[in-house]
């Protein structure tokens, strides 16, 4: 019997995703289902915009719920503030410098909790995958879409 590999999520990411799941399942979905039922009761569904939109919105909610179920199944919740070390690992906040001498700071998080504008990248992204296990001062080749890039790790923090 094989053991299921757990997917890592930060504590904050787990709370955010499970909160979104509860909101969709307990509030949004029942409201949309009721709206569809009310619209269906009005008669001709083929020209009923509320019914058509409601069914479309219900499909979108169900699709998101399915994805969230996948993300929240078999997870290992990790609190980055309890981590330490000299190597890049899940939960680390890493400052890198690229070939154009630009610096960027990324926190490595789980699937589904990525917000590039917020400075978080998934542990399975090309950059995170390339720098995992590396130390400050290491130069790393990263395969990006359409090109290869070299980055240097200049700082590792756990916050």
Q: What is the mean pLDDT of the chain?
A: 93
Asked if residue 103 has pLDDT above 80, the reply is yes
pLDDT at position 153, please? 97
Domain match, 63 and 119 both: no
Tell which of 44, 77, 110 closes a domain.
77
Q: Which helix (H) or strand (E) holds 66?
A: helix 49-72
What is the predicted pLDDT for the residue at 2?
Answer: 60
Q: How confident is the model at residue 48 (pLDDT cuts 50, 70, 90)?
A: confident
Full domain range(s) for residue 135: 80-157
Strand, coil or helix: 5: coil
pLDDT in tens, 82-92: 999 999 999 99
Amino acid 49: pLDDT: 87
Let me know whether 20 and 72 are in one domain: yes
Residues 142 and 130 in one domain: yes
Average pLDDT over residues 11-23: 96
CB 98: neighbour CB atoms within 10 A?
A: 14
Q: What is the domain-level CATH number for residue 17?
A: 1.10.287.180
Distances (CA, A) of 148 to 67, 68, 69, 80, 145: 31, 32, 34, 29, 8
pTM: 0.84
pLDDT, tens digit (0-9, with 9 covering 90-100), for 24-47: 999 999 999 999 999 888 877 777
Q: Do the beta carbons of residue 65 and residue 29 sit within 8 Å?
A: yes
> Tokens in use for 64?
């998101």
């Amino acid at each position: 019997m094989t053991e299921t590999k757990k997917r890592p999520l930060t504590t904050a990411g787990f709370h955010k995703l499970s909160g979104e799941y509860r909101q969709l399942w307990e509030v949004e979905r029942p409201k949309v289902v009721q709206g569809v039922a009310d619209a269906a009761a009005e008669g001709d569904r083929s020209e009923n915009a509320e019914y058509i939109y409601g069914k479309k919105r219900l499909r979108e909610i169900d699709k998101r719920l399915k994805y969230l179920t996948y993300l929240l199944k078999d997870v290992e919740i990790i609190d980055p503030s309890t981590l330490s070390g000299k190597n890049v690992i899940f939960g680390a906040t890493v400052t890198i410098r690229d070939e154009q001498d630009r610096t960027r700071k990324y926190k490595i998080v789980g699937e589904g909790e990525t917000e590039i504008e917020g400075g978080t990248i998934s542990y399975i992204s090309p950059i995170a995958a390339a720098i995992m296990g590396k130390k400050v001062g290491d130069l790393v080749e990263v395969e990006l879409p359409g090109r290869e890039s070299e980055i240097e790790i200049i700082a590792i923090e756990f916050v």
